[in-house]
Amino acid sequence: MSYLEELNESQRIAVENIFGPTMVIAGAGSGKTRVLTYRIAHMLQNDIDPFNILSLTFTNKAAKEMSHRISKICGGNEAKNITMGTFHAVFSKILRYNADRIGFPSNFTIYDTQDSKSLIKDIIKENNLDDKMYKASVVFGRISAAKNNLVSPESYTGNEDIQLEDRQSRRPEIGRIYRVYANRCQKAGAMDFDDLLYFTNVLLRDFPDVLHYYQQKFRFILVDEYQDTNYAQYLIVKKIAAAYENICVVGDDAQSIYSFRGANIKNILNFRQDYPDFKLYKLEQNYRSSKHIVEAANSVIKRNKDQINKHVWTDNAIGNKVSVVRTLTDNEEGKVISNKIFDLKQSSSPTYNDFAILYRTNKQSRTFEESLRKLNIPYKIYGGISFYQRKEIKDILSYFRLAANPRDEEALKRVINYPKRAIGKTSIENIIISANKYGVTMWDVINDFQSYPADINQPTKARIYEFATMINSFGAEINKLDAFTLAEQITKSSGIFKELNDDKTKGPEEVERIQNVEELLAGIQEFVNSGEDDEMKTLADFMMDVALLTDTDQEKLEDRNHVSLMTIHASKGLEFPHVYVVGLEENLFPSQMALNTRSELEEERRLFYVALTRAMTTCTLSYTSSRFIWGQAVMCEPSRFIDEIDAQHLTFETPPRGQGRSLMGGGFETKMKGGLNKPLHTNTPSLTPLSKIATSPSRNTSDNEKIMIGTNVLHERFGKGKVTQLEHSGADQKAVIFFPHHGSKTMLLSFAKLTIIEG
């Protein structure tokens, strides 16, 4: 059967049109990856040279899967000649090939976020700046944003608007830190992730011959997840595509959720302005979810103004309505959701891998972890410390990095005294002082103390010399031995393997560290074996692969059966038969920090759309009436997003009486101000209208009836306040109240327990 016959009509048209600017808007679950893959296969079948194709993805995993599929369709090895990978992977290769033009060695190291923050901390300390005001994460975020917008250190310090922002935030020295950081990275022969895009733009801007070369080489460009591109990525693609304009972008504006990483939804919304003669194809058939889930998601996302209009539909079964569960406390929420998973597992016998709990922020995972553990339900939290960020793995990788690039100062600082060699912190600081004084690297200093004197005693210098000699011996083998052979040699010769095995405690954590090192070596062996027969894969090749892994690629896959716990951001691109979206409360989801502008709120709504469309068979939304925040029980209001779902796709349920009670061991109780335990009641019937779910009888209903705009009230937590706005009436009545010390708060009057005061 022809590969084209496997496509629906919309997919087929998008695949067959391979020339000119093209935008494919792919709704959730509509077969986006299939279209992208088959489009490339169709190019090859129509005699387009694979060497002229550039395909950009957002994960290495996606690129490998696409390449494998193309090979199956077309046969032979032609797919291997396509330049395919993530933005960072593809452009790092271009930079290595042209590194000398921009003042870097071809073996430059790629710093991860941890490395960058470590260097920034050192710069802050060296310049005697307040590390509480100049937090490394804040400074790094500011530098990252500048690079993503192609703002150089010189432009940063010369831009009065940027300088004003920094002065207003009481961080006027960020520009200077940025300049020193950039110089130190270059001196160490290192780039961070943002540099890979920043310097590619510099290369294409400053060297017309390089731009011309890649315009002729990449005559056909395909970009996946185009809605997630930032300004730097957008500009690179636009420059390379300018010669032939055979550019195809695939994405879904309704799933643009990464503005905090610099992604700009305008890149996809304004595609038609960049290419007025573009062709637009819409993939609107959802193959993933039931009708109720698809229509529920549609009814929410249609409220966004900034979007490309489409109507996602499905031929799948109508399925269950989206279930809305109200609980009384956040602890009860964890127990109720865990019980629902347990019951569904018993009745329907799916595997635990079929279940996912999605939340807005990582801190929400605690109550679900506790409840799942009590029911002996296996689970895994995604988005924690990745395999390659574990200490023992980072230590070994630092030795590998030094073998490839001994100028890498972050790797050098990490392992010069690990395992311990009696090279103290003061000695390391004195090496840094000497390097800064003479304008050289730490590596230059420790190899030539005579030319670059440092305040270090002779015995310590001898130990440092031994360390440098060992690193030099590793470097001498980098292109002679395959990655596994040299990795095994370094692991043993450095003393790390002995250090881990000699650990006298040998508790579970120590055993796991040894197992992790063994797994790393096994992975390197697999990497070596995956090469062609005549190709030796070196340790430098492996390190380049590891440095370019995305968050998704770095997750350590486990075969055991488990419920997945993750943020909604981390769930993008995944699907599960049974999804639980939890914590659907105002100021949590949508986030309180995203309510300042329409664009922020619309991104939160897109995030909710992503959460709904992860579900295949059932989707449950939960919220709580009371949540502990900073040790205080705070009353919560249901998220506006629940109200935005058409009622015909929703069913409201209350946990069976006694279910939460038996799990909590003492009734539905929560600590209230003053140490009193006030019982909360669960008497909301099933299918109650949403606007009534969050209400609870007030002790002062007569007072509530007297409240008007301008009324002065007293709240037990926020103190005195004035009513500035009233909405609705009766049990649904809400008031916006201004509290001098807490700002404006929106409260449901039947729940707020307000007292009217005079004056």
Pull the structure tokens for residue 211: 């731009």
Give the Å distances, CA to CA, from 397 to 96, 211, 220, 415, 436.
20, 34, 37, 10, 26
> How many Cβ atoms from other residues are within 10 Å of residue 450's Cβ?
5
Cβ atoms 107, 405 nearer than 8 A: yes
- What CA–CA distance (Å, rounded) separates 119 from 580? 40
Contacts 24+ apart (CB under 8 A), 511-520: 513/390, 513/391, 513/392, 516/387, 516/390, 516/392, 516/393, 517/392, 517/393, 517/396, 517/491, 519/387, 520/393, 520/396, 520/487
Cβ atoms 620, 323 nearer than 8 A: yes
- What CA–CA distance (Å, rounded) separates 429 from 99? 30
Q: Is 495 left (phi over 0), alpha (psi -120 to 50) or beta?
A: left
Cβ atoms 579, 619 nearer than 8 A: yes
Residue 498 C-alpha from the chain's centroid = 36
Cβ atoms 279, 297 nearer than 8 A: no
- What CA–CA distance (Å, rounded) separates 362 from 368? 11
Cβ atoms 232, 150 nearer than 8 A: yes
Choose among 324, 327, 325: nearest CA to 663: 327
> How many Cβ atoms from other residues are within 10 Å of residue 200's Cβ?
27
Q: Is 454 left (phi over 0), alpha (psi -120 to 50) or beta?
A: beta
Q: Which residue has 């009353």 as its token pair?
A: 635
Pull the structure tokens for residue 248: 């195809």
Q: Which residue has 């260097």 as its token pair?
A: 119
Give the Å distances, CA to CA, from 220 to 31, 57, 82, 240, 318.
21, 15, 10, 10, 41
Report whether the peptide linkage leading into residue 419 is cis, meaning its omega lies within 30 degrees of zero: yes
Which residue type occupies 759?
G
**For residue 84, what is the DSSP state?**
E
- What CA–CA distance (Å, rounded) separates 10 from 24? 10
Residue ranges in 46-134 assigned as alpha helix (H): 60-74, 87-97, 113-126
- Catalytic residue IDs: 32-33, 224-225, 255, 614
Report whether the peptide linkage leading into residue 453 is cis, meaning its omega lies within 30 degrees of zero: no
E-strand ranges in 672-742 read: 677-679, 712-715, 719-727, 734-739
